[in-house]
Structure 1
Amino acid sequence: MHFVEAYTDDQQRLIFAGAKILLLLLTAASVHRSLSPPNPSVKSEECCSGTAGTDTLFERVVQSITYCSKCMVWLGAVCDIACIIGRLFLLPAWTNGFGWIGHVTEDAREHIPTMMLIGATLATFAAGLRIWCFNALGPFFTFEITIRPKHRLITHGPYAWVRHPSYTGVYLTLAGATLVLAAPGSWTAACAVRTIPGALAVLFWAAKCTFAFRGMVVRLRAEDAVLRDTFGAQWEDYAARVPNKFVPGLL
């Protein structure tokens, strides 16, 4: 960002601080929107059962996982913003993290890591993709595997390109959030991992994401099976026209 070289050191610090705060807020808001169900949760008796993959631990805790993910991203973003503001206005209590956040060096605060830019871009794109999926499925989009009354096989919007675009959105959401929170100079990378609670939180995030990724692989197979049983030849024709699950022409 050579355009900032025309500004004084204080002005440059203010520009970079403001940009990082915006990226953090954008990432947290994107994650929140992506992982918030667009429709009310369905009752357990309305969920599909009897098909492999529809009665797993992941299915029982999926709402808790998404809620936990949103809380952790907001916590990381708020703590990072607190450190940025504390460093900007020379507030030692904030910069040192209220006794446990830790200390972030000056050099780490005077640039925007490429890792953060990529992560924020991924999270924002993922939110847009998820919203597109929400709108395409309308009342049929739930965080549980269900066949709603008067259910229709949706093949337009993002579903005209891949069969499971909402899962692509989740993968990109979690990947983007991870890149932003783990970027060099971030609160998580510079401070949290140096404490036992912070290190445990990072390990929990990694384990949670791994569990979610595996759970979604099992779930999408179950979804395909349920849709095949429900719509028969209509689904078979759709699957033949749209063979990819996540990325057009690749996956």
Structure 2
Amino acid sequence: MFPIVKIPCIIISMVGLQAAVTPPHPPPTENERAKSTSLEVLIRQRSGPLLVKAFSLSVALAEVAVIAAKYAPNLPYSDIMLSYLIFPGGSAERIRASPQFLFGAFMTTLGGFIRHKCYQALGSMFTFEMSIRKDHILVTSGPYAVVRHPGYTGILLAISGMLLMHGSEGSWVRESGAFETTVMKALTLLTGGLVATITTGLMKRMPKEDEAMHQLAGKKWDDWARRVPYKLIPWIY
């Protein structure tokens, strides 16, 4: 598929990623905040999602710049952009919109949309840090009527889609020669490690959240858990 198709897909998916990894509210107070495990520290300090967003946005901007410079060579500085963003062994000609890229863009956009709906459903109760806030209540409507932890579904979709977009054949990372550089290899390993740590931390946090909300809501939580038995994916998990 024509590479120019990638530009609107990248822009829309980056909006989705922005929604997924940007805290909608200030952090809770120390009294409201639950104790974090070592794997949750990156989420609690908000540094992990910020670094993932910075890496993805930088790569996305590089890819858009290369596509624009290649297919609109009369743009100012097109030659300069290509000289800086295409490395030895790489080629702008190989950058394309592969099926894997399109699926990754869809995942990232859908993840951001789900995450946004969770922000709307929970309001000020939604924080990146696990907390029980003043006047906290159990919300069972909206995305919480489908799975018990849709916010986690959203962020895991978004970051998995982001990795698929930038790591698939036809991407700037794969085709520009950038991945052969030491810096890009280090950044890729760092981002992959952050994503793995965030994912593991979220999985470990789910039973803690269930327990905390069970203590808060009692029978109402029991009734909700019977109606909504799945944590992340309907009919699967």
TM-score (structure 2 length as normaliser): 0.90
Flag structure 2 segments of 5+ consecutive residues without an equivalent: none
**Which letter does structure 2 place at the counterpart of 1:42?**
P
Residue in structure 2 matching 1:116, options 82, 89, 101: 101
Which residue of 1 is the match for residue 18 of structure 2?
Answer: 32
Distance (Å, rounded) in 2 between the aligned partners of 1:209 and 1:46:
26
Provide Cα deviations, 1:170-201, integer angstroms capped at 9, x if missing partner. Answer: 11001111111112222211222110000111
Matches within 5 A, 1:86-101: 86-90=69-73, 91-97=78-84
Q: Would the aligned equivalents of 2:66 and 2:92 in 1 still touch at CA under 8 Å?
A: no
Q: 1:75 aligned to 58, 79, 91, which one?
A: 58
Contact in 1 for aligned 2:18/2:53 (Cα 8 Å): yes
Residues 233-248 of structure 1: pairs in structure 2 closer than 5 A: 233-248=219-234
Separation in structure 1 between the aligned mates of residue 229 and residue 85 of structure 2, nearest angstrom: 52
User: For the Cα contact (< 8 Å) 2:102–2:165, is it kept in 1?
Assistant: yes
Q: Which runs of 5+ in 1 are unaligned?
A: 2-15, 50-54
Separation in structure 2 between the aligned mates of residue 122 and residue 19 of structure 1, nearest angstrom: 17
- Residue 129 in 1 paired to residue 114 in 2? yes
Q: In the TM superposition, what is the alpha-carbon distance from 1:99 to its structure 2 partner?
A: 7.5
Counterpart position of 1:194: 180
Q: Which residue of 2 aligns with 1:4?
A: none
Q: Which amino acid aligns with 1:204?
A: L
Q: Deviations over 1:34-68 (max 9, x none)?
A: 1111111122332023xxxxx21233321111111
% identical equivalent positions: 30
Moved more, 91-100 or 198-207: 91-100
* Distance (whole Å) between structure 2 residues aligned to residue 22 and residue 61 of structure 1: 31
- Residue in 2 that maps onto 1:168: 153
Whole-angstrom CA distance in 2 between matches of 1:105 and 1:38: 37
Question: What is the CA-CA distance between 1:33 and the residue it aligns to?
Answer: 1.1
Is contact 2:3–2:67 with CA below 8 Å preserved after alignment? Answer: yes
Alignment-mate amino acid for residue 232 of structure 1:
G
Task: Name the CA shift for 1:20/1:102 in 2 (closer, same or farther; >3 Å).
Answer: farther
Report the AA paired with residue 55 of structure 2.
M
Three-state SS of the structure 2 residue aligned to 1:96 is helix
RMSD: 1.8
What one-letter code is carried by the residue in structure 2 that aligns with 1:155?
A: T
Which of 64, 70, 95 is the aligned partner of 2:47? Answer: 64
Q: Tell me, in whole angstroms, the C-alpha distance in 2 between the residues paired with 1:67 and 1:211.
A: 14
Q: Counterpart of 2:230 in 1: which secondary structure? A: coil
Structure 1 range deviating more: 214-223 or 180-189 = 180-189
Residues paired across the two proteins, number: 230
Instruction: Tell me if the contact between 2:66 and 2:85 (Cα under 8 Å) persists in the aligned partners.
Output: no
Matched AA of 1:160: A
Q: Which residue of 1 aligns with 2:130?
A: 145
Greater gyration radius: 1
TM-score by length of 1: 0.85
SS in 1 for 2:138: coil
Cα deviations across residues 70-128 of structure 1 (Å, max 9, x unaligned)? Answer: 1111001001112112222443332232586973241x13x421111101111111111
> 1:161 is matched by which residue type in structure 2?
V
